[in-house]
Structure formats: C-alpha cells, structure tokens
Amino acid sequence: MEQHKNKYLENFAIMYGNQTVEEFRRIIIRDEQIVRACYAESTDWISSEDFVEMILIDSVFILMFLKQIGPRYIDKTGDFLFDQPCHRDTIFEDLLLLENQLPFSLLENLFGPFFIKIGSNITFRDFILGHYGYKNRIKPEVKFLHITDMFRCVRVEKLGLTKEDHIKEQRMKKFLIKNLHNADELDSAGVDIVGHKVERGTSFVIKFERGVLTMPCFTARGHTERMWRNIMALEQCHYTYAAYVCHYITFLGFLINTEQDVELLVNKGVIKNLLGHSESVVNMVNKMCLGLADNGSYYYDIAERLEKYCDNRLNRSFATLRRVYFKDLWTGTATIAAVIILVLTLIGTVTSLLQVTQDDNDPTKSLLPPPPSRDL
C-alpha cells in the first residue's frame, strides 16, 4: 500500500508538475509543529524529513483517491484499488478511522490554493463534502477537525443548535437516563413509534409529542459499528459535554433489548436491518453503549416524558384496547359489530323492563270491575 501511495504522488507530479509538489512540502514544513501537536502520542521519534514526507504522501493520496472515487470503471485501469471494488470500499471506510486522520486545516492549506490554481469552480471543502454526499449539509462557518469530525458535524447540524445553544449545552448540567422502557414495552403502553425516512442516518432529532415518538432511521450494515465507534471515540476525547452521538446511541440502546424490539423498530421504520439476523443488531447496539463516560444525556427530558406516559394506567388501558380489539380492519369491524349488537340488545332489554314496570304501576288497571258471573 505504501508503494501504491508513492505511485499516486508520482502521478500527481506528472499531472501538475514538481513545483506544485515542492510547494506542498514547503507548506507542510511551515506547519510541521502544528501538525505534530495534533497527535495524542509523541512523534519525536520521527525525523523532520520523514514526517514531512509521510504527511505529503498521505495528503496527496487522499486527494487523488477521492478524485477517482466517482466514476465506475468497466475496463481495467491498472489501479488495483479501483479494479477490485472491495479494495476501493475498504479504503473509503478506512478514511473514517480516527487513527488515520490528517488535520483538515492542513489539507485546506495544501489544496485550497491548488484548487484555485487549476481553475476549479469549487473549494476543497466542497470537494470533500460532495464526495461523501454531504454537500450543503454543513453551514460554511462550521469548522471540523478532520473527516471523522465532519461526519459528526453533519449529524449534529440537524439538531438545529446555534452557537449560543452549543455553549449553553456544554455548561448546563445534563441528567443521566437511568430507566427507559424498551421498544416493545413502549408499544404496549400506547406509544406510537414512527421512523423518519428522509435523510436516513444523518439526523439525531428525536421528538415525543401526544403519544408519538418520532426517530430517525438507523441503518445497520457491515461497517456501521466501526463508523459509529470512531465518531463516539472522538466525542469522548473532544466533545465530552456535547457528545450527541453517544447520547443518541445510548438512547437507542435503551430501546433495544431483544430481537422482538428490533423487529418492531424495523416495522416502524426506525431501523433498517442489512445484517440479516435481528440478534446481530441487538449485540451491535448494546456493545457500542459499553464503556461510555456518563455525563448526562441530551435526550433526558424525552426519556422522562416517555416514562410518565408509560406509567399512566389510562394510557395502558387504551393501548390494550387498541392492540386487542382494533389491531386490524377485520378485528376492529367485528368489535364494532359486537358493540352495536350488545347496545341494541341492552336497549331492547331496558325497553322491555320499562314496559313491564309501567304496566305494574298503571292504577287504571287495578280499578277495572271483575268479570261478570256466568251463573245460570
């Protein structure tokens, strides 16, 4: 793979000239200490020359790889990453790993002027957002640290929080969700669970109004756990008191305890299961909830209102009535017909009783003369 990345650098130099590559080197040397400070572990053991070359090769590889990711090649290109789609998809996913990140500020410093030089009508930022399908999903003023952080920012943006809201959220004390019924219990208590199909997987907006719990659709596929784990690890380090992704996964974990919960949420449109077996989704979501720092939850108020709704006996009674006697068209029709017959029977019975009572209490009937004698 390292040899392949060197070939990408050679091809880049052929296409755009060695002067462009040397300009990249000068920028990396200028920002070397800033880049080194972005890593959690010390990089002192890497010489300056090796470090600059490593950053240069990785940066150019990201640019050249993403430039080719769009077209679908029918004929062989000689690039094994694109001749075998499984490699292309693996690299595309590896670019999300937290340990593989390059500071986005560095990439912008490198490729921003380059995009202007080659006459591109888009910025490097738009280039990255477009290749991940996030064009116009983040406000221009929102800055992100790297590609993994970009994935988080796209989702947090949907919460509609202003800068002041972010500051308030970080300062205010959040309460931890200690108890929350699972999806099957919520359904039994009369909560109507509805899944959002629009912008699947890019929203954390959860609402509970008038007995209806509205949630975004969570897609469970092969790389889902790896993607979410990296974003959650980022939050645990950099967004301790604004860990909205962790809060969302934890909330989802409360809802999913059994395979029956998964099947219910799939039918409601809250989960799209591409893993096959429901147990795989249960294990994946519950494992992601382990080891998280407990700093409260953004969805605490919703959880509290759900618990109060479920504890209401009247709500449970109506839910049982709806589930048992009105679960489908035929059952509901039979129930209504039975109620009509019962009411008509009751009316007939009451009418008969009133008639008998009226006859017994009629004084005119007691004053009638006895029948005439038939004595001869």
What mean pLDDT, rounded, does the chain reach? Answer: 84
**Token pair 């039979």 in the structure block, residue:** 334
Q: What does the block give as tokens for 58?
A: 């990785």
Summarised one tens digit per residue, pLDDT across range 240-296 is 888 999 999 999 999 999 999 999 999 999 999 999 899 999 999 999 988 887 778
pLDDT exceeds cutoff 60 at 375: no
**Token pair 């969570």 in the structure block, residue:** 218
Between 324 and 213, the higher pLDDT residue: 213
**Would the pTM count as exceeding 0.85?**
no
Domains of the chain, by residue range, sit at 2-157, 164-322
Between 262 and 164, the higher pLDDT residue: 262
Q: Is 177 exposed, middle or buried (0-12, 13-18, 19+ CB in 10 A)?
A: buried
Least confident stretch, 66-70, 129-133, 160-164, 344-348:
160-164
Name the band, by pLDDT with cuts 50, 70 and 90, for residue 318: low
Taking alpha carbons only, the member of 20, 40, 41, 23 closest to residue 31 is 23
Summarised one tens digit per residue, pLDDT across range 60-91 is 999 988 888 765 655 666 777 777 777 888 88
Distance, in Å, from the CA atom of 245 to the CA atom of 224, rounded to the nearest integer, reads: 13
Name the band, by pLDDT with cuts 50, 70 and 90, for residue 314: low
Across the range 301-313, mean pLDDT stands at 87
Across the range 25-31, mean pLDDT stands at 95
Q: What does the block give as tokens for 82?
A: 């694109």
Name the band, by pLDDT with cuts 50, 70 and 90, for residue 132: confident
